[in-house]
């Protein structure tokens, strides 16, 4: 295709190349409807599409968000109650979602299988252009009224409950306020997701009109990525969605222009305090600047560079000044660059700032900005920042979706705001221009500081105070307008709709692959292992864009049990303190100059029973298993602390020098820095409890299943919250001693190494690593101690660690989280494959219906971890988590009494298969192969497991459910996190969490 060509009603607006993404980009417009398409054509077999619509909010009723949920609940050609979740159940997609932004709504999905890709596109396209939008769907997804168990009128709805969860988090509300206060009079002054106080004001008529206004092809921007020919995709879109239809024209609507402030503003606002200990929680103070428009790529990259220079690492000028000040606890998570809308916003803030210190914090920030504007940055700091930005552009990442999803978001940023779709993808070109400006103009960066910060009057100093009464009651005047009879009639109609089953004929309308059509690929990862000087070196060769990834692992099962709970903080302190005479700021700068990232983490896993039999013997006593493993392979089935670094090829030598200097010579003597890290650690864990409640309750309920799950709870669970509180209160000299003791043991534990690079890169790196590891050995023999020695460190005050069963954690959140864990079969057994299929079917059928559709929880799911012998059922942002525990049982009971037909089971197997063919990034592949090697996970065993899954029958699913029902009745363990109520008392032991 060439510019100005015509193809079946589509005009080619432009054809361009973007070499950094190895893509030819074709931009087209449909002449009749005005719909635009942008295709990044390349050799990637993971194709992605995304239907995007500009959806500007005029209030905070959440119309765009509720519509995003609702269009996927039945359409003209797929008139099921919820074709989206049926598709999730039976598609081999690699990503499938719908996303509400502050000014647009996007419907992306991807697949590596062409037939499946078009199946999903057919459902998505029909959903956005021809949705049914039944009144019952609006009530279900948006809001409706019910009477609770006390006879009190209350609001329910999936989006309503989701946003109640969002508005239960101080950090989330504070982050929203930085935007709404800076951009008054624009759509960004409203919450497109919906404020729970405003959502009940949305009418069904306004909801329908919103779709009619915005969901027209003339307002649609369709992003395509991958190797399926453009012509084939255009033909599909035309024939399925455009031909033979008349659509109302969309009058292009731009976001109201922001009226620039004549002078900076100061604002005070409130956000929810945690129920317990809220008196100890101080305000967040944040300064926010309007920094231009995101459609200007040069403007965007200038701010990316300034962010890296000012706040890129702890040794950066602003970051260092905030850390060293005593004005607040730590840097607020609201800090950073916001770019997912028309305007760029830059925010700097601190948590737990005393109100009297707000002006002092503002003065401190401006003193640093004035200093760098006058004196500039050092040459080393500029080079480090430039390298960091270049590194980010070069690295292929995969985080919660394919890499193309990141490209789609960049593209939409400008395309939705009137510029060509390729413009905001050309970050590298824009940055090359900036680098030339830096070389030719010595004051270029200083002038940028003046432009965006010092001379910029469009700024807000925001103080967000915690308020324990933030959550208001539903407006009583509204309640008085609603009769009980009207509520009952509406609710009866809704329940009738929700409980009505889709007919087999309707279900067959949704296309799906047969098991026989599934690709036979298995992600075999070629790993090489060589032992040099007694140290095992693993490597994986892959094209990595000139980047190298190195992991050095230390076994931590040599460390006494009493130190296990301190290991997570050790990973923080060991990578954020000074070393070899450098203070912490100088150390951070040293890493920034030579690496693209450095950190440490903990890792633990159990192994399959077959690994035990093969390496220890079927009759081996439990206390001798690890010793026999060690004789076979010193790396097998250990607990690890991994230090990881990534660097450009040309920086390898310098980066490894700094890397090993830090590992070996980190100093814990700077007690002030140690105190700052302990405060930040406590605050981070406290603020993660409510947003991540489902992970915490699942961890808690599973922690007695295996030693690895016990370690996970000690390191990452609710019990770590108490450890963080202990560290915060601990004598700093004692804390330093503990960390030094751990370090001394760690450095004598031996190492294992992993490298991901090209073959040439691996060959060049091993000699450099051998030089640094000349004084180290391979992993030493582990210390044996029974699980009971660790169990007490999973305890929380008020509970007997020997009896972790049914627990309720009161976090004061407006919505809750529930988890129940049952014993699962070993991962190599046939029964485990049956459990996998059952869990997938439960998640995407009956649990979704009962807990999300009817119950109003934002998420409900089941999953299996055969290695850890855990079958987990859980909810997310759940209005009634206590009741959900009962529903878990009901769902299993139903499955145990129902013989599914073969087609239903086949669809579940097909959907489950999508996990097996999920692609990884180059770095992800290397690390995944390394972990498989450490835990005896062979390609042969994985392939056998896939075959077992493909052979599961309806009888298998029913029998598996029956077995789990018996386990639920005898030995289930559960945990709930939420807000204490009268119902909580019957759930289990109640614990008030000390969140601040």
Q: Measure the CA dihedral 345/351/354/357, to 10°.
A: -50
147 sits in which H/E element? strand 144-147
- For the domain that residue 971 is a member of, what is the CATH number? 3.30.830.10
pLDDT at res. 387 = 94
Note the Cα 759 to chain centre separation in Å: 32
Q: What is the DSSP letter of 817?
A: E
Name the residue with tokens 């004001």. 201
pLDDT at res. 806 = 83
Structure tokens at 49: 């599409």
Full residue range of the structural domain in which residue 158 is found? 6-240+483-510
Structure tokens at 14: 């432009």
The set of residues, in sequence order, having a beta carbon less than 8 Å from that of 746 and lying 6+ positions away, is 554, 556, 558, 559, 641
Q: What is the domain count for the chain?
A: 4
Structure tokens at 608: 């399959």
User: pLDDT digit string (tens) for 860-899?
Assistant: 999 999 999 999 999 999 999 999 999 999 999 999 999 9
Give yes or no: residues 818 and 857 share one domain: yes
Q: What is the DSSP letter of 450?
A: I
> What SS3 state is found at 112?
coil
Q: Is 602 within a domain? A: no
905 sits in which H/E element? helix 902-916
Q: Is 664 within a domain? A: no
Q: Measure the CA dihedral 72/75/81/83, to 10°.
A: -60
Q: Is 330 within a domain? A: yes
What is the rounded distance in angstroms from the CA atom of residue 884 to the CA atom of residue 528? 47
Strand arrangement of the beta sheet that strand 535-541 belongs to: 528-532, 535-541, 752-757, 547-555, 640-648, 597-603
Give yes or no: residues 812 and 859 share one domain: yes
The set of residues, in sequence order, having a beta carbon less than 8 Å from that of 307 and lying 6+ positions away, is 336, 337, 346
pLDDT at res. 988 = 58
What is the rounded distance in angstroms from the CA atom of residue 30 to the CA atom of residue 249? 13
Q: Is 560 within a domain? A: no
> What SS3 state is found at 756?
strand
What is the rounded distance in angstroms from the CA atom of residue 54 to the CA atom of residue 103? 6
Sort residue 548 into left (φ over 0), alpha (ψ -120 to 50) or beta: beta
Give yes or no: residues 216 and 298 share one domain: no
What is the rounded distance in angstroms from the CA atom of residue 333 to the CA atom of residue 266? 20
Note the Cα 629 to chain centre separation in Å: 35
Whole-prediction pTM: 0.92
Phi, psi of 579 (to 5 degrees): -155, 150
Residue where a domain stops, chosen among 713, 740, 767? 740
Residue where a domain stops, chosen among 457, 491, 510? 510
Residue where a domain stops, chosen among 689, 711, 740? 740
Residues 76 and 130 sit within 8 Å (Cβ to Cβ): yes
> What SS3 state is found at 378?
coil
pLDDT at res. 717 = 97
Q: Is 289 within a domain? A: yes
DSSP letters of 787-799? THHHHGGG--TTS
Give yes or no: residues 501 and 354 share one domain: no
Q: Is 746 within a domain? A: no
> What SS3 state is found at 232?
helix
For each successive 10 residues of the chain (996 residues), what is the average pLDDT? 95 96 97 97 97 97 98 96 93 96 98 96 98 97 89 90 90 95 96 96 97 96 98 98 87 83 96 63 94 95 97 94 91 94 96 90 97 95 95 87 95 95 96 97 97 98 89 52 84 93 92 87 89 97 93 98 98 97 94 95 96 92 92 96 97 97 98 95 93 95 95 97 96 98 98 97 97 97 92 83 74 91 94 97 96 93 96 96 96 97 94 88 94 95 92 97 96 91 63 84
What is the rounded distance in angstroms from the CA atom of residue 341 to the CA atom of residue 530? 50
What is the rounded distance in angstroms from the CA atom of residue 148 to the CA atom of residue 167? 21
Give yes or no: residues 229 and 320 share one domain: no
Q: What is the DSSP letter of 254?
A: P
What is the rounded distance in angstroms from the CA atom of residue 584 to the CA atom of residue 253? 50
Structure tokens at 548: 């190298």
- SS3 labels along 675-691: HHHHHHHHHHHHHHCCC
Give yes or no: residues 725 and 859 share one domain: no
Task: Considering only CA atoms, give the Rg of the chain.
Answer: 28
Give yes or no: residues 94 and 216 share one domain: yes
Give yes or no: residues 461 and 490 share one domain: no
What is the rounded distance in angstroms from the CA atom of residue 815 to the CA atom of residue 466? 18
**First and final CA of the chain: distance in angstroms?**
60
Give yes or no: residues 735 and 812 share one domain: no
Q: What angle do CA 101, 102, 103 make, to 5 degrees?
A: 90
Q: Is 619 within a domain? A: no
pLDDT at res. 987 = 52
The set of residues, in sequence order, having a beta carbon less than 8 Å from that of 387 and lying 6+ positions away, is 593, 596, 648, 651
Residues 552 and 710 sit within 8 Å (Cβ to Cβ): no
Give yes or no: residues 25 and 70 share one domain: yes
Q: Is 589 within a domain? A: no
What is the largest distance, in Å, between two alpha-carbon atoms of the chain?
A: 81
Residues 857 and 812 sit within 8 Å (Cβ to Cβ): no
Give yes or no: residues 338 and 456 share one domain: yes
991 sits in which H/E element? strand 989-992
Give yes or no: residues 28 and 101 share one domain: yes
pLDDT at res. 937 = 95
The set of residues, in sequence order, having a beta carbon less than 8 Å from that of 385 and lying 6+ positions away, is 305, 308, 309, 312, 377, 592
- SS3 labels along 454-489: HCCCCEEEEEEEEECCCCCCCCHHHHHCCCHHHHHH
């Amino acid at each position: 295709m060439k510019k100005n060509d015509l193809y079946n009603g589509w005009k080619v607006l432009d054809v361009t190349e973007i070499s950094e993404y190895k893509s030819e980009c074709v931009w087209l417009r449909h002449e009749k409807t005005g719909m635009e398409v942008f295709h990044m054509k390349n050799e990637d077999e993971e194709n992605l599409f995304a239907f995007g619509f500009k959806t500007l909010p005029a209030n905070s009723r959440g119309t765009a968000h509720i519509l995003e949920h609702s269009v996927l609940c039945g359409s003209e050609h797929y008139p099921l109650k919820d074709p989206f979740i049926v598709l999730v159940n039976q598609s081999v997609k690699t990503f499938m979602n719908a996303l509400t932004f502050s000014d647009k709504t996007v419907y992306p999905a991807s697949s590596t299988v062409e037939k499946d890709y078009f199946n999903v596109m057919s459902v998505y396209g029909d959903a956005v252009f021809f949705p049914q939008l039944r009144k019952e769907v609006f009530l279900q997804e948006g809001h409706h009224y019910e009477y609770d168990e006390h006879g009190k009128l209350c609001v329910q709805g999936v989006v309503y409950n989701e946003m109640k969860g969002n508005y239960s988090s101080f950090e989330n509300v504070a982050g929203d306020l930085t935007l709404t206060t800076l951009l008054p009079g624009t759509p960004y002054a409203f919450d497109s997701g919906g404020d729970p106080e405003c959502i009940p004001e949305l009418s069904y008529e306004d909801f329908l009109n919103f779709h009619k206004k915005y969901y027209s092809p003339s307002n649609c921007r369709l992003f395509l990525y991958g190797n399926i020919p453009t012509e084939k995709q255009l033909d599909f879109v035309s024939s399925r969605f455009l031909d033979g239809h008349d659509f109302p024209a969309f009058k292009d609507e731009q976001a109201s222009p922001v009226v620039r402030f004549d002078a900076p503003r100061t604002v005070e606002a409130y956000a929810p305090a945690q129920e317990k200990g809220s008196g100890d929680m101080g305000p967040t103070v944040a300064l926010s600047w309007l920094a231009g428009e995101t459609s200007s790529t040069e403007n965007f990259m200038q701010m990316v560079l300034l962010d890296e220079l000012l706040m890129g690492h702890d040794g950066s000028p602003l970051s260092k000044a905030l850390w060293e000040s005593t004005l607040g606890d730590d840097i607020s998570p609201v800090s950073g660059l916001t770019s997912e809308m028309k305007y760029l916003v830059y925010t700097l803030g601190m948590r737990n700032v005393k109100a009297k210190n707000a002006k002092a914090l503002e003065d401190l920030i401006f003193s640093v900005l004035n200093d760098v504007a006058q004196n500039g940055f050092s040459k080393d700091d500029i080079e480090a920042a430039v390298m960091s930005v270049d590194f980010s552009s070069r690295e292929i990442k995969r985080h919660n979706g394919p890499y193309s999803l990141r490209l789609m978001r960049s593209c939409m940023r400008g395309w939705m705001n009137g510029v060509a779709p390729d413009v905001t993808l050309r970050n590298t070109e824009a940055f090359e221009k900036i680098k030339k400006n830096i070389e030719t103009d010595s004051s270029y960066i200083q002038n940028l500081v003046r432009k965006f910060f010092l001379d910029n009057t469009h700024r807000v100093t925001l103080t967000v105070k915690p308020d324990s009464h933030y959550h208001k009651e539903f407006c009583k005047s509204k309640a008085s307008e609603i009769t009980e009879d009207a509520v009952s009639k509406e609710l009866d109609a809704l329940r009738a709709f929700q409980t009505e089953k889709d007919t087999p004929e309707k279900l067959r309308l949704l296309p799906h692959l047969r098991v026989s059509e599934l690709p036979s690929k298995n992600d075999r990862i070629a790993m090489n292992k060589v032992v040099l000087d007694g140290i095992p070196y693993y490597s994986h060769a892959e094209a990595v864009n000139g980047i190298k990834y190195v992991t050095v692992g230390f076994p931590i099962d040599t460390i006494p049990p009493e130190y296990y709970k301190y290991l997570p903080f050790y990973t923080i302190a060991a990578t954020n303190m000074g070393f070899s005479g450098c203070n912490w700021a100088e150390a951070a700068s040293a890493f920034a100059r030579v690496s693209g990232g450095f950190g440490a983490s903990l890792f633990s896993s159990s192994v399959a029973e077959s690994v035990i039999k093969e390496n220890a013997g079927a009759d081996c006593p439990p206390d001798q298993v690890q010793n026999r493993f060690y004789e076979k392979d010193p790396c097998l089935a250990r607990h690890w602390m991994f230090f990881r670094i990534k660097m450009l090829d040309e920086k390898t030598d310098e980066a490894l020098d700094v890397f090993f200097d830090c590992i070996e010579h980190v100093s814990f003597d700077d007690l002030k820095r140690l105190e700052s890290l302990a405060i930040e650690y406590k605050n981070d864990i406290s603020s993660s409890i409510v947003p991540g409640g489902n992970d915490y309750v699942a961890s808690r309920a599973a922690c007695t299943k295996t030693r690895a799950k016990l370690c996970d709870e000690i390191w990452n669970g609710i019990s770590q919250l108490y450890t963080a509180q202990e560290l915060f209160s601990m004598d700093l000299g004692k804390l330093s001693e503990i960390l030094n003791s751990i370090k001394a043991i760690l450095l004598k534990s031996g190492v294992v190494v992993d490298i991901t690079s090209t073959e040439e890169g691996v060959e060049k790196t091993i000699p450099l690593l051998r030089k640094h590891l000349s004084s180290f050995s391979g992993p030493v023999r582990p210390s044996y101690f029974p699980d009971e020695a660790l169990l007490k460190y999973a305890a929380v005050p008020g509970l007997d660690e020997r009896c972790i069963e049914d627990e309720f954690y009161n976090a004061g959140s407006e919505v809750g989280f529930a988890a129940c864990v049952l014993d699962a079969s070993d991962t190599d057994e046939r029964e485990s494959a049956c459990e996998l299929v059952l869990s997938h079917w439960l998640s995407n059928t009956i649990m979704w219906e009962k807990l999300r559709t009817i119950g109003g929880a934002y998420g409900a799911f089941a999953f299996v971890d055969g290695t850890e012998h855990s079958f987990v059922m859980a909810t997310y942002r759940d209005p009634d988590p206590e009741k959900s525990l009962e529903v878990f049982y009901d769902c299993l009971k139903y499955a145990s009494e129902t013989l599914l037909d073969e087609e239903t089971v086949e669809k579940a197997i097909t959907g489950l298969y999508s996990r097996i063919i999920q692609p990884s990034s180059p770095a992800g592949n290397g690390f995944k192969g390394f972990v498989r090697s450490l835990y005896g996970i062979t390609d042969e065993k994985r392939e056998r497991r896939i075959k077992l899954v493909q052979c599961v029958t309806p009888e298998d699913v029913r029998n598996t459910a029956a077995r789990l029902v018996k386990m639920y009745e005898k030995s289930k363990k559960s945990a709930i996190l939420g807000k204490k109520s009268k119902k909580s008392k019957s759930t289990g032991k109640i614990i008030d969490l000390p969140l601040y």
